[in-house]
Amino acid sequence: MNDVLEKLTQVLEDRKQASPDESYVASLHEKGLNKILEKVGEEAVETILAARDVAQGADASKLIYETADLWFHSLVMLSHLGENADSVLRELERRFNLSGLEEKASRG
């Protein structure tokens, strides 16, 4: 797994036991799945709006920021349900391998 994703995955796991007063992630877990899903939906909409702004000529910094928010809240959702980024990366890897592109790349 990518180093940042791996460290963040561990922090998210640890935050399940943290105090909601001291940790944003713990406060989301305490509020429950509906609040986490609401955040995922909100960040998805903000990402879409930022992407449309880029298409109209805005620079990409807001899009990157909103996409990071979306990925982050998606990771909290997975963590809340007992899953993590590794499962998603393995699924993407499986699809990549199925496409045969990895084999073509290794042949040069």
Q: Which residues bind ligand PRT (CB under 6 A)?
A: 8, 11, 15, 23-26, 39, 69, 72
Which one, 13 or 86, has the nearer CB to ligand PRT? 13
CB 29 within 8 A of CB 73: no
> Nearer Cβ to ligand PRT, position 61 or 99?
61
Q: Toward ligand PRT, which CB reaches closer, 65 or 96?
A: 65
Comparing CB distances to ligand PRT, the nearer of 69 and 78 is 69
Question: To the nearest whole angstrom, how small is the minimum distance from the Cβ of residue 51 to ligand PRT?
Answer: 17
- Shortest separation between residue 85's beta carbon and ligand PRT, angstroms: 13
CA-CA distance, 78 to 19, in Å (whole number)?
Answer: 20
**φ, ψ at 59 (rounded to 5°):** -75, 165
Amino acid in position 82: G
Give min distance, CB of 11 to ligand PRT, in A.
Answer: 5
CB atoms inside a 10 Å sphere around CB 34: 8
Q: Would you call 38 helix, strand, or coil by DSSP?
A: helix
Cβ 84 to ligand PRT shortest distance, Å: 14
- Residue 70: alpha-carbon gap to chain centroid: 6
